[in-house]
Amino acid sequence: MKSTSLSDRCIDLFSYTVLTAMALATLLPFANVLSKSVSEEWAVVSGKVGIFPIGFQLDTMQYVITSSQFVRSFAVSAGITAVGTLLSILLTAISAYPLSKRHLPGVGAILVLYIFTMMFNGGIIPNYLLIRSLGLINSLWSLILPVMISVFNLLVIKSYFESLPEALEDSAKMDGARTFTILFRIILPLSGPVIATIALFYAVYFWNDFFNPMLYISDPSLKPLQLYLRDIVMDADSSSAITKSVDDMMNVSGEGVRAATVIASTVPIVLVYPFLQKYFIKGVLIGSVKG
């Protein structure tokens, strides 16, 4: 049995300490918000709620998830996430496949152009003018079309495609398969880990996107969840409205409503992780090592 030296044990201890501190720094604020969302109203108002809830009630959560504006914003975010992720995965895979064929002429130059866009972009104002000239202000497509292809994700998928044996494609070509048949019936079914990983990246981005909706969406009926959260958490008028609207309700406070809103908007995307975890590490490692 291999023995570990004192220096190795010190490094292990340091690593576990740092990782534990980082985990606590991530989990404790979330635990505090979760506790506020289910604690008694008097405890939330008096600021006595810490990591653990004081009392237990679901009136605040029920108030939040039955709010018409919350339901509408939730549906908008869910739609953007579903449509955006599906289209992004499709276009990214279609773009990455030819770039993985180094023997094709011009692949290197096109790849340089893609990478150039990672380092330089037009900036906020040119992007806004472009979206406005396309007539996409107050359109949900303004939140999907500009970010449909991430160059980083494209490079990860390209690297994964390059790791697949060329003999598979050669055999398919000998059987008469064409390019799209090879891509959709052979390559993509074998790319489950990287596709699941990139899908998670896109889904988290679309779900959490706040800046683009703030620029392009002013119609209240089209506000996604993150913009609604901004109104709840930061806008003083909304805070006053909440407090006023819940004055007559037992166990419901403005602070509790804000906490419940954060929890209700975070839990759905967190629940996606366990289903994709088995693909996540494998997909990222294979794509990055080959790159």
- DSSP annotation string for 271-287: TTHHHHHHHHHHHHHHH
Global confidence as pTM: 0.79
What's the average model confidence in pLDDT over 150-154? 91
Q: Which residue has the tokens 């635990």?
A: 31
Q: For position 133, what pLDDT does the model report?
A: 93
**208: CB partners within 8 A, 6+ apart:** 226, 269
Q: Which residue has the higher pLDDT, 189 or 272?
A: 189
If we measure between CA atoms, which residue out of 269, 15, 290 comes closest to residue 282? Answer: 290
**Over residues 32-46, mean pLDDT:** 85
What is the structure's pLDDT at 281?
Answer: 66
DSSP annotation of 121 reads -
User: Does 289 score more than 60 pLDDT?
Assistant: no
* Average pLDDT score over the chain: 83
Confidence band of 236 (pLDDT split at 50, 70, 90)? very low
pLDDT reading at 266 higher than 50: yes
For residue 218, what pLDDT is reported? 87
Taking a C-beta distance cutoff of 8 angstroms, is the pair 135, 127 a contact? no
pLDDT band for 260, please (50, 70, 90 cuts): confident
Sign of CA dihedral 124, 125, 127, 132: positive
Q: Inform me whether the pLDDT recorded for 3 exceeds 70.
A: no
Mean pLDDT in residue range 123-150: 90
Calculate helix-pair angle for 254-270, 225-233, nearest 10 degrees. 160
Q: Does 240 score more than 80 pLDDT?
A: no
What pLDDT, in 10s, does the model give residues 66-117?
888 888 988 999 999 999 999 999 999 999 999 988 888 888 899 899 888 8
Separation CA 207–CA 268 (nearest Å):
10
pLDDT value, residue 210: 86
Q: What is the CA radius of gyration of the chain?
A: 24
Distance CA 156, CA 291 (A): 7
